Copies of this chain bind each other. A is one copy, B any other.
């Protein structure tokens, strides 16, 4: 019973219906913003938990900065604004007053305030007060916060006006240390994406024209969605002394000289959830990787007559206790018994749409035979995906099972990525031809328009040419071959840079 739109029929519509049918989020009365519902937010909480631990393990501390940034800070950051931050929510008044029974904005502010699109500007201001000597460095902080960018074409999770994210900000006494930090956090993002979200990524550097405004270098993780397009899933910026100079973050170094600090920033957002959907969901709805699933196992009692209830529920309690003895990923297994007063078939479809990794249906016949009907979401519709198993055997191996599903999900997504990086295109002509085809859903083990790994000359006009072709350079990978060839974009000979070309979200 597929969703009303399948991936093949209409990929963008399919995406929206997964979000809706899995009850992860919905549009809200607040234009361009979404309500993140419990199933979607539960996924975010698990992503947060995984990543927050890694952020702390690498020596960072959480804190919280105001969301309102005085307009004058943006004036200072001319570069900053030029790049991306023009479309922003501006607070101009601090009161609602009633005029003839109608509420109107009142009490205009002396200086308008911007709702943070990102917090470099206001955090740099604090850093300038916190840092005097090299002994105060490094400063390693992070915040979990909401940010606002006035998107004109919002899409659930991928691009909404308000979204949730974390932003790390650090200051260092040497450029080497700051660069090391930037790459360290990129690696943390790679681990989070691959290990928690089962979402394989390519890592690399952005070309000049795609850097974060003010950054010396922007690094990214890029993941391939099921339609072959790339999702930029996280970025880590080495900011050099740009923000230190505009906010006057100086320190006395070991030689007793005044020096500007070297800063970094890095962030991932609720956009990751959009990536999880487009990496794993199928025509039946969402499939959540177990590591970040709010519930890894959902148990559905199948009770047709009231007199069966007690026996079945006792059996389920016993089953649940057995499962609770186990762990997955070194943590307690997250388990839900859905005994709502609804038809079990409806509940089955609800959890299928939500993509809970394992569904267990238990009725009187299972009680008799000490069995459990196990449905694996990832294998929906296959024989293997629906098995009657011995209750105790299943319960004792359930941790392993959960971890195995995670591995399988990653492998599947990894195969898609690897199958769809074309490395054989050597000429501009072939390159143009490759990207003439539209992006469509790529079925399992199939091939479609994905990424091209090939040569780039670094030509100044590249940005323009890319825009014409509606593609981008997703990243410049760290492993460069050093060989020469034709620039796939311009046709120039003698191009030496290996890049990943692709369409993107």
**A residues at B contact (CB < 8 Å):** 26, 28-31, 33-38, 40-42, 44-45, 61-71, 73-75, 81, 85-97, 102-103, 105, 107, 112-115, 122, 125-126, 129, 135, 141, 145-146, 150, 161-162, 164, 340-342
Contacts and interface: CB of A to CB of B under 8 A. Distances in A.
Given A38-B61, A103-B71, A103-B81, A30 B95 contact: no
Contact of A42 (B36, B61, B340): B61
**Most chain B beta-carbon contacts within 10 A, residue among A37, A85, A103:** A103
A75 B105 CA distance: 12
30 contacts: A28-B122, A28-B126, A29-B122, A29-B125, A30-B69, A30-B70, A30-B113, A30-B122, A33-B66, A35-B66, A38-B62, A41-B61, A42-B62, A44-B64, A71-B103, A74-B103, A81-B103, A86-B97, A87-B95, A88-B94, A89-B93, A89-B94, A90-B96, A91-B115, A93-B112, A95-B150, A115-B115, A135-B342, A145-B146, A146-B146
Given A28-B126, A103-B81, A105-B112, A146 B67 contact: yes
A400 B135 CA distance: 36
Contacts of A45: 62
Contacts of A71: 96, 103, 105
Contacts of A33: 66-68
Contacts of A95: 86-88, 90, 150
A34 B64 CA distance: 8
A96 B71 CA distance: 9
B68 A92 contact: no
Given A29-B125, A91-B91, A91-B115, A37 B66 contact: no
A120 B309 CA distance: 39
Contacts of A115: 91, 115
Contact of A73 (B29, B41, B44, B81): B29
A83 to B, nearest CB: 13
A90 B88 contact: no
Contacts of A30: 66-70, 113, 122
**Most chain B beta-carbon contacts within 10 A, residue among A28, A69, A126, A150:** A28
Contacts of A65: 28, 35
Contact of A96 (B41, B66, B85, B94): B85
A461 B425 CA distance: 85
A164 B144 CA distance: 12
Nearest to A141: B38
A40 B122 CA distance: 18
A8 to B, nearest CB: 31
A34 B66 contact: yes
A86 B96 CA distance: 5
B67 A38 contact: no
Given A41-B63, A64-B164, A67-B162, 13 more contacts: A28-B66, A28-B126, A30-B68, A35-B65, A66-B162, A71-B105, A87-B94, A87-B107, A89-B91, A89-B94, A90-B96, A90-B105, A92-B92
A1 B198 CA distance: 54
A115 B67 CA distance: 11
A103 B64 CA distance: 27
Contacts of A70: 29-31
Contact of A91 (B28, B61, B90): B90
A247 to B, nearest CB: 10
Contacts of A122: 28-30
Contacts of A41: 61-64
**Most chain B beta-carbon contacts within 10 A, residue among A61, A91, A340:** A91
A141 B36 CA distance: 12
Contacts of A103: 71, 74-75, 81
Contacts of A102: 75
